[in-house]
Structures are given as structure tokens and as C-alpha cells.
Chain A
Amino acid sequence: MTTSNTPLLKVDDLRTYFHTRNGVVKAVDGISFHVNRGETLGIVGESGSGKSVSSYTLMRLIPTPPGRIESGSAVFDGMDLLKMPEKDLRKVRGNRVTMIFQDPMTCLNPYLRVGEQLMEPLLIHKGLSRDDARKRAIRALEEVGIQGAASRVNHYPHEFSGGMRQRVMIAMALITEPELLIADEPTTALDVTVQAQILDLIKKLQREKGTAVVFITHDLGVISGMADRVLVMYAGRAVETGVTRDVFYHPQHPYTQALIDSIPASHAPGEELFTIKGLPPDVSKPLPGCAFSLRCLHAEEACRSTDARIHELSAGHGSSCLRVHQGSLKVITHRVAHASGQGAHA
């Protein structure tokens, strides 16, 4: 057992590559992070940044081949999830570490009643009798706010709406009372009002049960309300990590700043939005130096050749930007620039 100050999950130098006919796609290329008990770590990034592949890697759900975990460790409660034998992993996965996927329609078995699917982990991991498991399944549905749970357990997934299915998925992920929940874009397919219900539910259950959550999303709004700490990913690499408030209000990487400034909420209506020039890089090609340097407004020669790794700037707040470390660049968001501009006028 671990002591209280070691993190629940510690990931070091994780690399997952896909060996395809067109070359090696470095989907995740050396990321490190940790999750403490009961806290929420938000992982943000655009499509192709490797955030989902990271989570699939932790659950060892990467199709091999073509995928391969090249290096790294993911220590959960003293056990390395990436190296432990499949037999032992099965006792952890779906029991102590569980996952919610983005699309609840494709992740529920359409042929099985939801009750059966909810009971399965209890029968396998907890050794409950069918009767007890069924009672527990009904209670789990009640906990996620599904009315008439006693009869709803006998329904098939197609008889539920999108929001309800996502509730079933959450009930299923939490039924074994896991210590760690990985939520991969759990609300992206849902409408805002339903999203608000689901986010509220995850927060409530997390508070009650002390579950740690890794919350993966591309939506900065969702992250700002959910996460205690944030990890920003770009092209398979981590570019910034820190407490949510620090990352949002004082970003220390030009990519984080660009991401925040690209959203309309950072601007007055109709005002020209900040844009990032160019396109995300092709991760199957070698990317020397900082992966963002090709699109970065502040990049210098050294950025394209020096390996960029996260270095801590202040307690718990790290950035991979070379120029920020050297002190030759101060990252300022539009909002801050605007506020100080107004201050000068007043």
C-alpha cells in the first residue's frame, strides 16, 4: 500500500507509436504526469494531440500491432500497469481503474440488457451473487439519476436516449468503486444542457466516493470547471502542466496562450480572434526541437533544435518552452493584454 503523499498514478516518459506502412506515427511521444488520490487531472489538446491514445495506453487497450508501447511506466498503487502480466491487469482494469468512453452507443453491448452489463464487473471482480449484483445494479442506476431503475435494468441500450446511455456508462464505470476513473471526452457527443447534468453527476459521485479522475477533452470550458490540474498536449507531447487557475490565467507556453486566445469567449463580440498559423505537424515525420516551433510566433533558431521537455517554473507549474525558461519570453494572453491596456487608459 502506498502512503498518502505518493500519487495514485505516476506516468513517466510514456511513448506509444503506431508502426504503419507509411512510417512510424509517434502518437504519444514522451509524456509524464501524475494523479493524486481524489483529484481531477484534465488533459486538453486538439485532435491528433495524443490525449486519447495516452488513456488507451494506460488501460492497455492499444491494438498491437500496429500500436506499440515503446517505453515508459505507469505506476498505479505500486504496480506498473504497462508491464504487469495480463492476468494481473485484469484484476485492476475495470475494477480499480475504469473508463468512460466518448460514444455511449458504440461502447454498450446492444445485445445485452443494461442490467447484465452493469452486473458483469460485480460478478467477475467482487464475487457477488447474481441477486446481490442485481440489487447493486439497480442502486447504481438510481445514483446516476435514472428514474424507475428497477424496471430500467431490463432495458436494452437502444431504449435509452444519448444522455441516459452516458449515465449508464458512468454507473458502469463507478459500480466497482474504482480509485481511478479515466473519462475520455465523456460529454462531447451530448447537448449542453445534458452535458451540464453529466458533469454535475461526475463531480457529485467523485466527491462522495473520493475517486480520482483523468478527464480528457478538447473543450477548455469543460476543463476549467472540472479539473484541479491541467496537462496541455500538442503533437504527442506535453507542453504545459499546472494547477487549472495558473494555466488559464498565467499560461507559460505560447501554445496554451494561443489555444485560450482562439476561443470567442476571450474576445469582445465580433473582435478578430487570435489564430494559430499553419497546421498541426505530421507526427510520423521527425520533429526536432519543440513540436510547436513551426507555428510559434516567438520561435527562435534554438527552439527548432533543442529538445523541449517540461521544466518546473514554480511549484507544480511546468512548461516545455525554451524561451520561457531562459526568461527571454513572457507569455501574455489577450485578456491580460486587454485588461492592462484598459488600465493604461484609465
Chain B
Amino acid sequence: MNAQTQNFLEVRDVKTHFPVHQGLIFQKQVGAVRAVDGITLSMRQGEVLGLVGESGCGKSTLGRTIMQIIPPTFGSVMINGQVVSKLSAGDLKRARREFQMIFQDPYASLNPRMTVFDTLAEPLLFHGLATKSEVTEKVSELMREVGLAPRFMKKYPHEFSGGQRQRIAIARALALQPKLIIADEPVSALDVSIQSQILNLLVDLTKRRNLTMIFISHDLGVVKHISDRVAVMYLGKIVELAETKALFAHPRHPYTRALLSAVPLPDPDKEKARTRILLEGDPPSPMNPPQGCRFHPRCSYMKDACKASEPELESAAPGHEVACLRHQEI
């Protein structure tokens, strides 16, 4: 590991823009969807960072940008001392061993024509982590680690349930012994009873393997359960970043407050007693985000200064950063 950097993951001012073209033949760029628009964050090794926000806020794009599935338009991503956003295609392939991804839909992310064995053996053989003779043993080991019986090795994805498929996807991500896992809504497609099994597995694996994980989800209950720290995104920017406990106990950004108050609690008495902060309208388009603070058109604390300048993340308390001009007053 690089001795100079303490942080395992460094994301510096990353922007990911998707150009929007108009015209059939002479296509010209008429604008850009600013999905991720200037994000800086860092993570220690072994830490679990929850990334929350509503659909379209750029949380998945940020995950994919860190993975280098989508190259950033601007900025750099450094994983374990290596600037992965500058690597050549060949070097990136080799470096990918270190960081792997788990996707939302286990029905779409597994190749239907490959057996569990094929799916899990491929990365091991490609990266030379196992020889042909040892690969069966390694695959069995992986399957046991994620709670699947090795006797199902020759089965195809369609023969498994959603929860089991997600276990296969997790085993595939773990095959190369990565240090960083990006899990993009890994339990959103699953029923509650299955969701709890997968969450237990992920908590267990991150502890056992000292994995660094970015857990992307719109479900705040799940994020609260699994994360050490939480970053809240709104329209391509992080608006608040804090330790999980501090964020849920003392949310400082008006958007975080509204988001937390909107989460339904499975507790009838608490549900009745609480007051909701209802936001007006829908999030604006990331193609044309509002001037100044991006949240100002929906914010009840808005004043003129919020329209004029865009607030940067600043420290509100130790380890608690918030991007709001008025966070001290409210």
C-alpha cells in the first residue's frame, strides 16, 4: 500500500456528464446531463459508506464512475494508491481485481447460459488465481462462503431464486479477493425475508475480509443498518456526509431532514406521532440544475443568498460535513 495516502479510496472532484445530442444527421451537442457534478470523498480501508438519494440523483453513476465502467468527464479516482482513472485499458483490466461490483438485479446481471461454475471459474482462470486442477475446489470454497451448497455448481441461474442468484453475484464479486466492493442496490429487488439474509451475509463478509464497501441504496433503513458513514446525494452533488449515527440523529441539511422524515417506520405509534416534512414537487432535471444551491426551489429555509451561490461541503461538527449556507441557523 502507498505509505503517503492513508485513505484507501480517494475521489477528487469527479464529474460525469452525458452529452445530449439533437438532430438526426448533423448531430450537435445541445447540453449535458450532469449526473455526477463535482464529488470529492475519501474512505478508509474496511469502511462501509452508504450512498443514498432519490432516483436520478447520480448515486449509481458515481458508483459506476469509481468502477471505471463509465470514465469520469473530469477529476480523478484513486484506489489503494493507484490512480485508476488514468490507467490504460490493459492495466485497468488487471487493476479491476481490486475492485468489484454487485448489481441490483440478479436476474439481469448473471449470464443465463453460464452455470454457476462457469460464472465463478472465469475470473479465477482469467486472472491466474487458480489452475485448471484447483479451480473446482476454489469455486466450492466460494460457494460455501456465500451460503450455497457446492453441489449446485452445475446449475444455471434460472434454476435459482432471486436471493440465491444474488448470492452467486456476490460470490463472483468476491472471487478475485477484491479490497473494494461497490454494491448498487443489492437488496432492492428482494423480498424482506430474503433481503435480511443477504444483508447478514454482506455484514459478515465485510467484517471477515476487511472489505471496503460503497453501499448504494434508496432504502434508508437498510443503509442505516449496514453503513459506518453515509453520504446523501441530491442532483449530482453530496449535500451531507457524516457518521451513520450522527446523520440519523442530527441531520443538518434540509434535504436530509425531509428525506429522513419521509421514510415510513414499521411502528404504528411512532408513525402517528411524527410530523412529516413534505417537499413540494419533484427533483429538477440534472440537465439544467437550478442556479445556486440545487435544492433551493424545494427548500423551506431558502433565502436570497441560496439562489446566488452554490454551497460547498463544509465541516459542521467533527466528521460531519454539510453543504448548506444556513446549516448553523437551522
Contacts and interface: CB of A to CB of B under 8 A. Distances in A.
Interface of A: 46-47, 161-164, 191-197, 199-200, 218-225, 244-245, 248-249, 258-260, 262-267, 269-270, 272-276, 279
B195 A262 contact: yes
Nearest to A194: B282
Contacts of A163: 282
B193 A193 contact: no
Given A200-B278, A258-B193, A262-B192, A224 B221 contact: no
Given A46-B191, A220-B192, A266 B266 contact: yes
Given A192-B259, A272-B203, A224 B196 contact: no
Size class of the contact patch on chain B? 35 or more
24 contacts: A47-B191, A161-B282, A162-B282, A191-B218, A192-B54, A193-B279, A196-B262, A200-B276, A220-B192, A221-B264, A221-B265, A221-B271, A248-B267, A262-B192, A263-B196, A264-B221, A266-B266, A269-B224, A269-B225, A269-B245, A273-B196, A275-B200, A276-B196, A279-B161
Given A191-B55, A220-B192, 10 more contacts: A46-B192, A192-B220, A194-B54, A219-B264, A223-B266, A245-B269, A264-B221, A269-B226, A272-B200, A272-B203
A169 B268 CA distance: 27
A124 B279 CA distance: 36
Given A200-B276, A224-B271, A275 B266 contact: no
B222 interface: yes
Contacts of A225: 264-265, 268, 271-272
B218 A262 contact: no
B279 to A, nearest CB: 5
A272 B225 CA distance: 10
Contacts of A164: 282
Interface class of chain B by DSSP: helix
Nearest to A267: B225
Interface in B223-281: 224-226, 244-245, 258-259, 261-269, 271-272, 276, 278-279
A263 B264 contact: no
Contacts of B226: 264, 269-270
B264 A273 contact: no
A265 B265 contact: yes
B276 A264 contact: no
A46 B225 contact: no
A163 B218 CA distance: 16
Given A262-B193, A265-B267, A195 B221 contact: no
B39 interface: no
Most chain A CB within 10 A, of B218, B224, B225, B261, is at: B225
B33 to A, nearest CB: 16
B205 interface: no
Contacts of B261: 196
Contacts of A245: 268-269
A137 B200 CA distance: 50
A164 B282 CA distance: 9
B199 interface: yes
Contacts of A258: 193
A262 B191 CA distance: 10
Nearest to B223: A264
A193 B197 contact: no
B8 to A, nearest CB: 20
Contacts of B266: 220-221, 223-224, 248, 260, 263, 265-266
Given A47-B191, A264-B222, A270-B226, A195 B197 contact: no
